[in-house]
Structure 1
Amino acid sequence: MTELTKEQQTEFEAAAFRRLVRHLRERADVQNIDLMNLAGFCRNCLSNWYRDAASEAGVDLSRDASREIVYGMPYEDWKNLHQAEATDAQKAAFDINKPADG
């Protein structure tokens, strides 16, 4: 395996994060509940992890600000534009699959 410097690792992780965020923005048709049910995380989780990282670095970042970083717009705007009401099947799957810390 190729040994990476700490700087390379950070650079590549940041690039992968940016690509994931771009992909999630482009795939607004994929609902958060579907992401949760299939992958165990959603856009909100990602924004929470971003906020946690900021907090660990001593940066006070609001939930709204971290969500806007992930969604590319205020969360309420994204919800109004893209979020559909969860179906009973989606809700049932979420109850079965939701993370223990969720």
Structure 2
Amino acid sequence: MSELTEQQKTELEAAAFRRLVSHLRERSDVQNIDMMNLAGFCRNCLSNWYLDAAQEKGIMLTKDASREIVYGMPYEDWKNLHQGEASDAQKAAFESNKPSHG
């Protein structure tokens, strides 16, 4: 196997990111709190990491814009369409497993 160039790595990482975002958009049945409880991150985390990357590059992007990139629509619209109220068990699991990343 040949060594990947930095450009190839970037292109593959970008393709994997786009596929992850597409998958998360298709799986609107999976609640963010469930993702947080099982994997330690959710769509909001992903959009925050996107925003952080933009800011590190000096690209002006808002939190709302980064969320729309991940959700495929304004965040408030997604919440209204897909987000249910978290159960007491989900909330308790989140509090005991809350990740330390911001």
TM-score calculated relative to the size of structure 2? 0.97
Shift of 1:3: 1.2
Unmatched tracts of structure 1, length 5 or more = none
Shift of 1:63: 0.2
Question: Which residue number in structure 2 is paired with residue 52 of structure 1?
Answer: 52
Deviations 1:29-57 (CA, angstroms, capped at 9, x unpaired): 00000000000000000000000000000
Shift of 1:101: 3.4
Alpha-carbon distance between aligned partners in 1 of 2:48 and 2:42, rounded to the nearest angstrom: 10
For 2:10, the aligned partner's letter is: T
For 1:89, the aligned partner's letter is: A
For 1:91, the aligned partner's letter is: K
Unmatched tracts of structure 2, length 5 or more = none
Alpha-carbon distance between aligned partners in 2 of 1:99 and 1:33, rounded to the nearest angstrom: 12
TM-score calculated relative to the size of structure 1? 0.97
Shift of 1:60: 1.2
Alpha-carbon distance between aligned partners in 2 of 1:78 and 1:51, rounded to the nearest angstrom: 19
For 1:78, the aligned partner's letter is: W
Question: Which residue number in structure 2 is paired with residue 69 of structure 1?
Answer: 69
CA RMSD of aligned residues (A): 0.9
